[in-house]
Structure 1
Amino acid sequence: MDAVRIRGWWSRRTQVERVRVYTLGSLYWLYWFLLLLAWFSLVTSAGSTATAPAVLSGLATLALGGAGTLVLRDAARLHPRSAPLPWPSLSVLLVLSAVTAPLALLLEEDQRYGGALVVVGALAWGAGGLLDTRVRNGVLLACTAVAGLVGGSIGFAAYGLGVSVFLVFTVQSSLWLLGVVTSLEHARDSEAALAVAQERLRFSQDVHDVMGRRLSTIAVQAELAAALAARGDARATDQVLEIRSTAHEALREARALARGYRPLDLAAEVEGAVSLLGSAGITTRADVSGVPAERHEPVARVIREAVTNVLRHSRATHVEMTYADDRLSVTNDGVDTGRPSGTDGSGLTTLAAQLGGLGARVAAGARGDRFVVSVDFVPVASEVPS
């Protein structure tokens, strides 16, 4: 049951969330592996009869490890910012390191390597993710001093410096890579939002161009009809009829806009959808060459609505549009398991009602790890077997 829950939890994570879990999990795991490995080398050097050094060093390792874990957690949350510093957790790590380092001098000479590595590892790995230059330089200097003090030689101090530089670089490069991936995801979301905003702007421009012109015409015609009526001119009746004709034309164009913004061309709509998805970082495969001419407009409307839903509601990375055997399918890999099957949102619900009058059936829902919008058309007369 737990394995199923874990798989379900993992499948609901986005690619960026998975990278974050993997990166931070690896940092924590390697941190504790390094500390326990250093402690193990200390214990094995102490011999089987030396119980007290093993217990005391184990407690010190756990204390330093816990403090370093808290600092590493705060550094990951702070990244890529360098301030404000997490002084509560950082202070605990610094105090424990300052207390533990001199105690390493009480160990036997062959045990000091492990003791020094515990302190150096906790300091460099725990606080190495902080981007403040003063903290980084201070950590490197402290690790060098600890290694030199415990080892009693310049060579050991140089070894401590080299280890601490490597550990700090490892932590900071991992957090930097995680930051780059997160920034790319934010940029992708921004591009998708911009694409939707541009489509809305195009619609508003269509409304302004069409309805604004018609309403202006009606206003002028109404003023003229009023003037003619005031003078008792018989042409006022003809002018009122012109107003009615213009109003009907405006209503027709408004309905055309509501159905699809403007008369839709399937090839142009597919090309625009591929370009729009590509700008959001989503790869697309489209094969709708077999759509009969009389179905171009309804297919184009479904593709437009399905692509809009992908941009607004999913984390898709790939979309496929296919038409075969009187069925249009728009599939994406950004399935949301929390969304029920049926029709996805008011847009597809409206389309389902409109296409129902043509005998077509619209369905939308998750199928495995894919989300599919499909339209089943009634076979045209030439396709019906005699």
Structure 2
Amino acid sequence: MVPLGTAALGVREEGESGGTGMRGFWRERSQAAKLDLYMRVVLYVMPWLFAVGILAPLAQELVRGPDAVALARGLVALSVAQCAVAMHTIHHGLAHYVDGAPAPRRSAALALALGGVSAGLLLTLQAIGGIGDGTVMLQLLPYALLTPAMSTFMLSTLRRLVLGTVVAAALVAGAMVATGAEPPLAVSAAVVVFFVGLFALATTRSTAWFMAMIWELDRSRDVSARLAVAEERLRFGRDMHDVMGRNLAVIALKSELAVRLARRGRPEAADQMAEVQRIAQESQREVRELVRGYRDADLSAELEGARGVLSAAGIDCLMDREPLGDGLPSGVQSALGWVVREATTNVLRHGDARSCTVRLTSDGGRAVLVVENDGAEGGPAPGTPGSGLAGLRERLTAVGGTLRAGPAGDGRFRLTAEVPLAQEALVQNARGQGVQAQGVRAPEAPGMRLQETRTPGARAQEAPAPGAPARGALR
């Protein structure tokens, strides 16, 4: 639940150290982006590890002859070239597999060609006796083929990849037999090629699939949030239509009828306008009830809803609640329910929390609600408080409560709401917020109509003065 701002996003301010900038580079990323970056770095580093790995057996087992040394140097140079091509191919291959970008066919073909040349150099070294017995060749063969396999295993279907691995194994085995190798050694080389294909499937292809699933789930989460907002808007519009549609249609018909009767000088016009007034007042009452139903939040329902929403988003939610929620005054429940709702929304939108704790306790005649999560990436930007927190402060002020929100240390963000439980304090605060005027008494319950002051023996005015609101008008 981190307010938006440069500090929350982890942007390094001018004058800060480079270390802070590196932390911000990592912290400003979402969980999906962090995992994506980690997997990409692993895939980019692995080919270079293979290039380094080929040096040890090659240096130990190489027969120091002029031809063997030249072939070994060429093999090392090809390994470095394969790594450089793999960086480009893996980057664009991930974009192709995850985002549907064009496939890097040319660089993939170049990677396969380099892999074939590397395998040819190994076979030549084996044929001229430059690397001792055949076991050394079997040790070096995976280093020569893993990099091109990683470069190409994101660009085709599984069936074609398996078929290509079989063809590569057959070609390597046939080439070894053609160069005078024993059949068992050729079969072992084919098994090594199969192992290379299996390793590429288990690393490169599965990593690309996992990254695609992560981003798909991230997009689904965003779409679900948008659909929830749209569904709530539709529900409000449907309820408003059901409440006001029929009444407004009746008001329009009766007003038209009253106009026609008035033009004819018929006394029934006044009866029709009185009916219009009654329907309008009834519509006003229904709209107030509808709005009150949307504005009032049930604390127990909001707590359970927060648990379900956070759990669905993969956030561990711990509810520490004393058995006092249902016994709170309705105004307190509504205010704290809105705090829970807004806090849950902020946890989902503004942070990358893995756990969230909600505590509802009673402390010295006050209900205390604490919502704390570990998704804080920085403090709130000074002077830019969020509109959601400002709205919560207004709701809590109306019932004499207070709201505190800010970092709690160790990457945690804490929101604390306190509301007095004394009914007298609530009443006094409500009276202090109201406007006392002659002829109008402070409403004691939501939806009460204003009452006019009447002089003894005088008849109340049926119509308001010009420019003044009608009695019972919606404010």
Place the TM-score, normalised by the shorter chain, in its bin. Answer: 0.7 to 0.9
Q: What is the TM-score with the length of structure 2 in the denominator?
A: 0.67
Kept in 1, the 8 Å contact 2:169–2:194? The answer is no
> Corresponding residue for 2:90?
72
Q: 2:50 aligns with which of 22, 34, 43?
A: 34
> Corresponding residue for 1:380?
422
Trace 1:1-386 onto structure 2 (pairs within 5 A): 1-46=17-62, 55-79=73-97, 85-107=103-125, 108-110=130-132, 112-113=137-138, 115-132=140-157, 133-134=159-160, 137-142=163-168, 144-146=170-172, 149=175, 152=181, 153-170=185-202, 171-234=204-267, 236-237=269-270, 239-244=272-277, 246-251=279-284, 253-254=286-287, 257-258=290-291, 261=294, 263-286=296-319, 287=321, 289-291=323-325, 292-293=328-329, 294-324=331-361, 325=363, 326-335=367-376, 337=378, 340=381, 345-368=386-409, 369-378=411-420, 380=422
- Count of aligned residue pairs for this structure pair: 384
Q: Distance in 2 between matches of 1:288 and 1:211?
A: 41
Kept in 2, the 8 Å contact 1:341–1:364? The answer is no
1:90 CA drift (Å): 0.9
Distance 1:134 1:339, change over 3 A: farther
Query: Which region of structure 1 is more displaced relative to structure 2, 195-204 or 248-257?
Result: 248-257
Report which structure shows greater RCO (CA 8 Å, sep ≥6): 2
Q: Which amino acid aligns with 1:290?
A: L
Kept in 2, the 8 Å contact 1:323–1:329? The answer is yes
Q: Distance in 1 between matches of 2:312 and 2:138?
A: 55
Partner-residue secondary structure (3-state), 1:375: strand
Kept in 2, the 8 Å contact 1:288–1:321? The answer is no
- Partner deviation per Cα, 1:79-110 (whole Å, 9 max, x = no partner): 26899542121122123233333333443033
Kept in 1, the 8 Å contact 2:63–2:131? The answer is no
- Partner deviation per Cα, 1:28-82 (whole Å, 9 max, x = no partner): 3333223321232112222789875654433221012222232222222222689
Distance 1:329 1:213, change over 3 A: farther
Q: Distance in 2 between matches of 1:341 and 1:332?
A: 21
Kept in 2, the 8 Å contact 1:329–1:374? The answer is yes
Identity rate of aligned residues, in percent?
A: 32
What are structure 2's unaligned runs of at least 5 residues?
1-16, 427-475
1:306 CA drift (Å): 3.4
Distance 1:362 1:334, change over 3 A: same
Partner-residue secondary structure (3-state), 1:261: helix
Partner-residue secondary structure (3-state), 2:400: coil
**Cα RMSD between the aligned structures?**
3.8
Q: Distance in 1 between matches of 2:57 and 2:100?
A: 35
Q: Which amino acid aligns with 2:164?
A: G
Distance 1:226 1:355, change over 3 A: farther
Q: Which amino acid aligns with 1:376?
A: E
Max Rg structure: 2
Q: What is the TM-score with the length of structure 1 in the denominator?
A: 0.80
Q: Distance in 2 between matches of 1:59 and 1:344?
A: 58
Q: Distance in 2 between matches of 1:376 and 1:216?
A: 46
Q: Distance in 1 between matches of 2:384 and 2:334?
A: 20
- Partner deviation per Cα, 1:303-357 (whole Å, 9 max, x = no partner): 3333344455554454443333333233444446486378864444334334433
Higher helix share: 1
Q: Distance in 1 between matches of 2:418 and 2:322?
A: 14
Partner-residue secondary structure (3-state), 1:43: helix
1:120 CA drift (Å): 1.5
Partner-residue secondary structure (3-state), 1:109: coil
Partner-residue secondary structure (3-state), 1:179: helix
Q: Distance in 1 between matches of 2:250 and 2:277?
A: 11
Q: Distance in 2 between matches of 1:164 and 1:210?
A: 69
Q: Which amino acid aligns with 1:13?
A: R
- Partner deviation per Cα, 1:261-320 (whole Å, 9 max, x = no partner): 265433334334444445555554443743421412222233333334445555445444
